[in-house]
Amino acid sequence: MTMPFEKTFPRVAPELLERAWTALQEVLSPGQVRRDEDTRTEYSKDESDSGIYPPDIIVFPESAEQVSAVFKTCQALGVPFTPCGARSGKSGGSLALMGGVAVSLERMNRIRSISVEDLTAVVEPGVITGDLMKAVEEGGLFYPPDPNSWQFCTMGGNIAENAGGPRALKYGVTKDYVIGLEWVLPSGEIIRVGRRTIKGVAGYDLVGLFVGSEGTLGVATEITLQLIPKPRHVMTALVIFDSVLAAARAVTAVLASGVLPRTLELIDDVALKAVDGRGFHFPPGSGSAVIIEVDGSVEEGLLAELARAGEICERQGATQTLVAQNEEQREKLWAARRGVSTALRALKPHKISEDIVVPRSRIPDIIEKLKAMGTELGLMVATYGHAGDGNLHANILYEGPHQRPLVETAIRRMLEMTVQMGGTITGEHGVGHAKRDYLALEQPPEVLALQRRLKAFFDPSGLLNPEKMFPDPKRF
């Protein structure tokens, strides 16, 4: 069941699993504990393409108390346990690498409250991000973070990974909207951290520490979010360039000019060709594209802002600027952007997606270097994503396992050049399993050691989501 290039980890002894199976049935109802092959297969992978790791038992708690009981049971027995949500993660953060118990939060999927007056919402971790977006927008509010998977990913996963998305450019990422958490610590202890107000500095920022901890320091069982008023007007333009380099230079120039759109997305030539014609047709001869979206509470200024951005793009060689004339056109354009990942998957049997970030001035540089690397190694490289904040999804497409060593070389070189430019190896996908062995490229040993000690502070047994994020000092 494993692919040839997967890493293998020690599995839990069968007799211990039997004891866990019995003990978990005592703290949960029958329908909440499973170990049939279909369920194990279903929960064995995510969207990271980094291997298949079936958990031995899958549980579906429905309250903080049940999550706590599961954690306590696993700790008492010494069985590894790994939380998961919609398994739409891109770094393997929810994979049960050692088997053991997968703790799915998907049944805790209620929106508990939305306050239009306070501009807040309280949700359970299994709420689908898109459902939250729709619900708050009905009340005139706005939840900005929009990971590509918003139609099916869950808020708990967004918290774990500190999810981003195109709108992060103007509005920030998940952590910028989480103000309070009900949190189950690895020990099973349930605590409440943070607050219900927009502002607050009482005590250490434990919310800040827990958001983005990738399911290694505990899980959220209730999330309090701050919202903003829904921007009343949105305007979207598609700007076409002959070359990706011109597009990248335009992105940098727009930002340096003082315009702050809510999105500045880039699609390179490979990605553009892959997605063209799948529900959206780019103008003939398009070499690369940038999607610029502006928003605000008053319509008057928006067209001027978009025009300004368009002019700057033209000075950088844009050949056409097309403004979406209605919501349908806008949605088609965004569907194309969201469809890039799937379209690229169709080009070759395998695809690895990295989500590097470079300082914004280095966007043209990194794109040029990635192109050159692809040519040199004979690999298809496609680059697209949130260029406005320097966050690019650099994809390597390949034929099969025989190319994997070459792919590994390409990934390492890509991450090395990113770090050399002052960048980071992950902008929004997380380290998880996929990038664990690369984190040392970016962070020095003393910082890795501090984080490992912090993990041990919260989880002395190390049973929660083992073998994630930080390279094993013994193996690295």
Q: Could you say which residues in the range 299-318 bind a copy of itself, by CB under 8 A?
A: 299-302, 304-305, 308
Nearest approach in angstroms of CB 114 to a copy of itself is 13
CA distances to 23, 234, 236, 258, 331 from 326, in Å:
57, 10, 9, 27, 9
Stretch that binds a copy of itself, among 21-29, 38-46, 59-67, 254-262 (CB under 8 A): 254-262
Contact 126, 142 (CB under 8 A): no
Of 180-199, binders to a copy of itself (CB under 8 A) are: 189, 191-193, 195-199
DSSP secondary structure letters along 336-396:
HHHTHHHHHHTTSSEEEEEEEE--GGGHHHHHHHHHHHHHHHT-EEEEEEEGGGTEEEEEE
Nearest approach in angstroms of CB 394 to a copy of itself is 14
**Residue 101 in 3-state DSSP?**
strand
- Tell me: does residue 258 bind a copy of itself (CB under 8 A): yes
- CB nearer to a copy of itself: give 51 or 212: 212
Binding-site member from 8, 29, 41, 257 for a copy of itself (CB under 8 A): 257
Tokens standing for residue 219: 């899980």
Query: Hey, what amino acid is at 426?
Result: T
Of 457-476, binders to a copy of itself (CB under 8 A) are: 457, 469-470
Nearest approach in angstroms of CB 208 to a copy of itself is 3
What is the per-residue binding string for a copy of itself in 100-129, x denoting contact by CB under 8 A?
---------------xxxxxx---------
Of 379-398, binders to a copy of itself (CB under 8 A) are: 386, 389-391
- CB nearer to a copy of itself: give 185 or 406: 185
Residue 213: which residues within 8 A CB-CB, separation 6 or more?
160
What is the per-residue binding string for a copy of itself in 418-437, x denoting contact by CB under 8 A?
----xxxxxxxxxx---x--
Contact 269, 330 (CB under 8 A): no
- Tell me: does residue 252 bind a copy of itself (CB under 8 A): yes
Stretch that binds a copy of itself, among 66-74, 76-84, 249-257, 285-293 (CB under 8 A): 249-257
Of 19-48, binders to a copy of itself (CB under 8 A) are: none
Backbone φ, ψ for residue 10 (5° rounding): -60, 140
Distance CA 430, CA 157 (A): 11
Binding-site member from 230, 345, 404, 413 for a copy of itself (CB under 8 A): 230
Distance CA 138, CA 118 (A): 15
Output DSSP code: residue 221: E
Binding-site member from 10, 113, 140, 473 for a copy of itself (CB under 8 A): 140
Number of residues that bind a copy of itself (CB under 8 A): 92
Nearest approach in angstroms of CB 474 to a copy of itself is 19
Contact 385, 347 (CB under 8 A): no
Contact 461, 216 (CB under 8 A): no
- CB nearer to a copy of itself: give 296 or 462: 296
Nearest approach in angstroms of CB 162 to a copy of itself is 5
Stretch that binds a copy of itself, among 56-64, 127-135, 248-256, 368-376 (CB under 8 A): 248-256
- CB nearer to a copy of itself: give 260 or 322: 260
Helix (H) / strand (E) containing 330: helix 327-338
Q: What length is written for the chain?
A: 476
- In the block, tokens 């349908």 appear at 328
- CB nearer to a copy of itself: give 119 or 292: 119
- Tell me: does residue 332 bind a copy of itself (CB under 8 A): no
Query: For residue 241, is it left (φ>0), alpha (ψ between -120 and 50) or beta?
Result: beta
Helices (H), 215-261: 244-256
- In the block, tokens 């139609």 appear at 151
- Tell me: does residue 403 bind a copy of itself (CB under 8 A): no
Binding-site member from 2, 5, 229, 331 for a copy of itself (CB under 8 A): 229
Backbone φ, ψ for residue 112 (5° rounding): -75, -40
Residue 467: which residues within 8 A CB-CB, separation 6 or more?
9, 97, 98, 433, 436
- CB nearer to a copy of itself: give 3 or 304: 304
Burial of 97 (0-12, 13-18, 19+ CB in 10 A): buried
- Tell me: does residue 358 bind a copy of itself (CB under 8 A): yes
Helix%, strand%, coil% for the chain, nearest 5: 40, 20, 40
Distance CA 78, CA 251 (A): 51
Stretch that binds a copy of itself, among 99-107, 272-280, 401-409, 446-454 (CB under 8 A): 446-454
- Tell me: does residue 368 bind a copy of itself (CB under 8 A): no
Binding-site member from 296, 317, 339, 462 for a copy of itself (CB under 8 A): 296
- Tell me: does residue 92 bind a copy of itself (CB under 8 A): no
**Residue 82 in 3-state DSSP?**
strand
